[in-house]
Copies of this chain bind each other. A is one copy, B any other.
Amino acid sequence: MSKETTKYDLVVIGGGPAGYAAAIKAGQLGKKVACVEMERAGGTCLNWGCIPSKALLKSAELYQNMLHSEDFGFTTSEITIDFPKVMKRSRNVADQMAKGIEFLFKKNKVDYVKGKARIDKGNKVVVFEGTDKGKSLQADKILVATGCKARMIPGVEHDGDRIMTSRDALAMTEQPKSIVIIGAGAIGAEFAYFLNSLGTKVTLVEMLPKILPVEDADSSDAVARAFKKQGIDCRTDTKVEDIKATKTKVTMTLTKGSKSEKVEAEKVLVAIGVQANTEGLLGEGVSFDLDRNYIKTNDNYETSVKGVYAAGDIIGPPWLAHVATYEAIQAVRGMFSDHKPEKVTLFPGCTYCQPQVASIGKTEQKLKEEKVDYKVGKFPFTASGKAVAAAHSEGYVKVLVDSKYGEILGAHIVGSDATELIAEYGLAMKVEATAEEIHDTIHAHPTLSEALMEASAAVYGEAIHI
C-alpha cells in the first residue's frame, strides 16, 4: 500500500473487539476494508484488559488451590511466587491472541494500518501518527471504534507507577506489598482478588453502598462476604481524597460518613470507570453529535455525519467487549446488506474474581423499583453434588421470573463457574424460553448447570435438591 490515497469500502478506526470484528466481518462480506490501530490489533480488551487479566486470575486461582492442596491429598513445600513470571505469562497470552487477530486480518484480506487516524472532510481517513503516518484512506464508509480509556480522578496525577490505571497494573513487574484499589466494579474486584490471593494487602474502596454496584444486591453481598473472608479490606460508602504519591508510597484520606482515616499503601489502582477516546479523531470541519462525550448514533449505528458509523465503547455504556463486537457486526451488516441492525438491550455481565459473578437482565432491586410482579428461584451450590465434589460450593443461582407469564427477567449467578453458566440463561432470554422450559430440560448430572434447572424449578417450589 503506498502512502497515496487508497479507496476502501470501509475504513475502521480502532482494532479492538468492535473494530477488529467489524473489519473481519466486512472482509467476510467481500468488501475492501482497512483497520487503523494505533497500538496493536485486539485493542484494550485483548492487550490490556479482559484477556491478560484472565491469565493473571488463572495463576491466582492455581496458587489458592495449591495452598489448599492438602485437603485434596497432596503435600508439598512452601510455594514460591515468581511475580514477574506470573505477569510475563499474561503478556505472552495477550501476544499470542494479538497475533491471532493479525492472522485473521490477513485471512480476511483486511489491510492493517498502524497509526493514529483522523477523519477529514469527505470521508477521508488520515494517519497522522505512528508507523503508517501520512497514509490517506478514502472511505466509502467509516466505522469509528476507538473505544475508551481509564478515567483518572480529577486532580490526581497519574504517574503510571504509584498511581496506576488497570493498564499500568497489567504491566507491573514487582508485586506490591500493599495496594488501595479505588472503585469496586469488575476491574477493581478482579485486581483485588488477584493481588490479595498472592499475598498483597488489598484495600478495596467504593463510593457507593455496595461493591460491584451494578450487580444484583445479593451478588454484591455474597462477594463482599467472600472477600472479607479472603482478607480483602472492603470499604464501601467511602470517599478517597488527598491522594499523594511519594517515591515509596501513596497516602490518602478515606472518608465514610463523618469518619476520616489516613491510609497509605505502596500503590494505588484507580478503577473508577472510563472515558471516550476521541483525541485527535476529528479533522477540521468534522464534528459528531455527542452525548456526554460519547458518539451518538442512530438505529443503524450511523453518526450525525453521513457515512460515518460508530460502535463499541465509544458510543457509551455498557462498555463491554462482547457488546462492542455485537454492535460492530450489526453496523457492518447494516452497511452492506439489507439486514436491519439491532441495538443491544440484553447482554451478560461478568466479574472473574472468585467466587465469580455473572448476570443478565434485570436485578431484583431494579424490578422492585419498576414495581414488576416477579418471583424468585434460588439454588445454592452447597446442594450441588458437582460443586461439593469440586470443592466449589460457594455461591448460588438466582433467577427472576415474571409472575404472570414465566418470562425470565434476570438471572444472577455467584460461584466458581458463573461466567460460563450464565450463557444458558442468556440464550433462554434471547429466545424467550421460560423458567419452566429450563426446568424441563434434562441437564447432565453431575454438573453445576443443574443449578440453573433447579433454580428455575425453585421459582415454583419444585426444586428437588433443596
Contact = CB atoms under 8 A, between A and B. Distances in A.
Interface of A: 17, 21, 24-25, 28, 45-46, 50-52, 54-55, 58-59, 62-63, 65-66, 69, 71-83, 85-90, 93, 96-97, 100, 104, 320-323, 325-326, 329, 344, 346-350, 358, 383, 385-386, 388-391, 417, 419-424, 426-428, 430-431, 433, 437-438, 440-450, 452, 461-462, 464-466
For the complex formed by this chain, how many copies does it contain in all?
A: 2
A385 B25 contact: no
Most B CB atoms within 10 A — which of A97, A104, A344? A97
Contacts of A75: 79-80, 82
B72 A444 contact: no
A61 to B, nearest CB: 9
A461 B444 CA distance: 30
**Majority secondary structure of chain A interface residues (helix, strand, loop or mixed):** helix
Contact of A442 (B344, B424, B465): B344
Contacts of A430: 437, 440-442
A423 B445 contact: no
Contact of A443 (B51, B426, B440): B426
Nearest to A77: B77
Nearest to A25: B464
A84 to B, nearest CB: 8
B447 A419 contact: yes
Given A423-B449, A465-B100, A73 B89 contact: yes
B74 A62 contact: yes
Contacts of A358: 444
A-B pairs with the 4 shortest C-beta distances? A73-B86, A77-B77, A423-B449, A54-B389
